[in-house]
Structure 1
Amino acid sequence: MSKIKFGVFPAEQQRANRKDMVFAPNPLSLSVPEPAFESWLRDSGYLEILDQRTTDLHRISTTAKPSNSAAHSTTTPTPTSIPPKRVFFVSRLFSPIWTLLSLLTFNPFSKLATDDFAANTPPWTLAFFGSSESYSFPSSPSQARLRVHENVKRFARNYASLFVLFFACSLYQLPIALSGLISCLALWDVFKFSSDRWGLDRYPIIRQTLIRIAQCVTAVILLISNVQLAVFWALGVSYAVMILHASFRKLTPAKQPAVRGGYRRTARR
């Protein structure tokens, strides 16, 4: 009875002792911080899961905001402040605009490497264009950056082919630029043929002088024929198409399962 305090029953003393106890953290706990879990998904290659998870979290947060703001307005009414519902709708209106503007503040080619152009070209139908379910508006600027960086690496050869296509279309609309480009190619072809026939390799000074003259003539022809205008329009249109497609295109697994006879082949264990 010496351990029992005066006026306190044993059951109440045990509950007080439980409150004073401090438990050590469990090393087998399954609770993982959000940044650590997202970094693990990114490093493990599960980018499609990270993409879908970001969209789901944004949808949950947006649906929970009106109820929270309404509850706050009922408890603490402020007649001079803006209604929470109006603030919410204004934020939802400017959120897509801010997401699109954020695409102009970073370099989409920062993670692009030369090995990405050496890989095979993804199919244009299933991998590149996909279906209507393959596209969604990015929920946040971070998700837009993630999509752009990953899709630029995956579809680098497709975007390069689109640039060539847009450049050919711009040359078709500017026949003077097309004739100037063809004349420049013909000039260098004639120079190579003459160099091989006359043996200019034995006269390096003369050969370097002729090369400098040909470069100056090429620059004058390109400026007069406005080839730089065609290049500018091709770069602008292809860059806009690349940014919009890469930001709206959902992330998918890098290797799609093979489809044969309407069924997906899965590896047997």
Structure 2
Amino acid sequence: MAFSANPLSLSVPDPIFESWLRDSGYLEILDQRTTDLHRITTTTNSNSNSNSTPTNPPTTTGFYLSNVITHIGILLSLITINPFSKLTNQDFSHDTPPWTLGFIGYSDSYSFPSSRAQARMRVTENNKRYCRNYFTLFIVFFACSLYQIPIALVGLVFSLALWDLYTYCVKRWGLDNHPVTRECLLRLLQCATAVIIFVCNVQTAVIYALAVSYAVMMLHASFRKLTPIKQPTKGK
């Protein structure tokens, strides 16, 4: 049996609906209610297992083992989450959230995600809120990796100097009026930059910075509770 469409129903696009949830604070409420429900369920199951007869001790062991397996499964599911799926250019135009109260928060600002759906919701939403913080962390990790690999730092500086020299020569010699010469010089400079990056092992520093910053971003975004954008002062 097929149901006819209701002409009075309202169809709202997903981005607009998510924006309304975010502006109304329902995402934070949904995240908190999911955490509270999981904690109540876990406490109830733990109490029921502790009150069981001593002749059946594997029940409690199996309960905790299943929790460990569930937590491992949630952590592994982070690999399949695309944190940039809902990221837009407007998210980078906003002000950087404060590092202390906004980004790091308090000790009670973190909790283990109770399900894969909650982990996905936290990752996508926190990545929109703290994308500028995560990008800053990547720059810091990249600078640290260059400090650990001095030859990569030298190669990067030399490559930037070559590109500045190319820009100066284009303006100095008026190569904009000679597109063929300008194109040949550009291709030659690109090949030289690729060779310098490969020889000086710059790609290793980039891969290291990307791996560490991505791991930190996924762990922070999945464990960080969704809180109102305007953080209230502690104790009020």
- TM-score tier, shorter chain, comes to 0.7 to 0.9
SS in 2 for 1:138: coil
Q: CA deviation at 1:99?
A: 1.4
| 1:185 and 2:165 matched | no
What residue is the counterpart of 1:208 in the other structure?
183
In structure 2, C-alpha distance between the alignment counterparts of 1:263 and 1:104, rounded to whole Å = 37
What residue is the counterpart of 1:86 in the other structure?
61
TM-score w.r.t. the length of structure 2 is 0.83
SS in 2 for 1:136: coil
| Pairing 1:126-205 to 2, within 5 Å after superposition | 126-205=101-180
| 1:252 and 2:227 matched | yes
What residue is the counterpart of 1:24 in the other structure?
none
Conserved 8 A contact 1:222-1:228: yes
Select 1:218's aligned residue among 193, 196, 201: 193
1:124-153 per-position Cα deviation (integer Å, ceiling 9, x unaligned): 111011111211222222211111111100
| 1:119 and 2:99 matched | no
Count of aligned pairs between the two proteins: 216
In structure 2, C-alpha distance between the alignment counterparts of 1:263 and 1:228, rounded to whole Å = 47
| 1:49 and 2:24 matched | no
Relative distance call for 1:70 and 1:238 in structure 2 (3 A) is closer
Conserved 8 A contact 1:42-1:50: no
In structure 1, C-alpha distance between the alignment counterparts of 2:204 and 2:85, rounded to whole Å = 26
Residue type of the partner of 1:167?
Answer: F
Relative distance call for 1:42 and 1:69 in structure 2 (3 A) is farther
Relative distance call for 1:133 and 1:176 in structure 2 (3 A) is same
Relative distance call for 1:46 and 1:178 in structure 2 (3 A) is same
In structure 1, C-alpha distance between the alignment counterparts of 2:83 and 2:183, rounded to whole Å = 39
Relative distance call for 1:70 and 1:181 in structure 2 (3 A) is closer
What's the % identity of the aligned pairs? 59
In structure 1, C-alpha distance between the alignment counterparts of 2:125 and 2:185, rounded to whole Å = 45
Q: CA deviation at 1:69?
A: 6.7
Q: CA deviation at 1:263?
A: 8.5
Higher-RCO chain (CA-CA 8 Å, sequence separation at least 6): 2
Structure 1 unaligned regions, length at least 5: 1-38, 265-269
Residue type of the partner of 2:198?
Answer: L
Over aligned residue pairs, what C-alpha RMSD do you find? 2.5
What residue is the counterpart of 2:71 in the other structure?
96
Select 1:59's aligned residue among 28, 33, 39: 39
Residue type of the partner of 2:202?
Answer: V
Q: CA deviation at 1:189?
A: 0.7
Structure 2 unaligned regions, length at least 5: 1-17
Relative distance call for 1:59 and 1:232 in structure 2 (3 A) is same
Residue type of the partner of 2:37?
Answer: L
Conserved 8 A contact 1:46-1:253: no
Greater percentage in helix: 2
Conserved 8 A contact 1:70-1:84: no
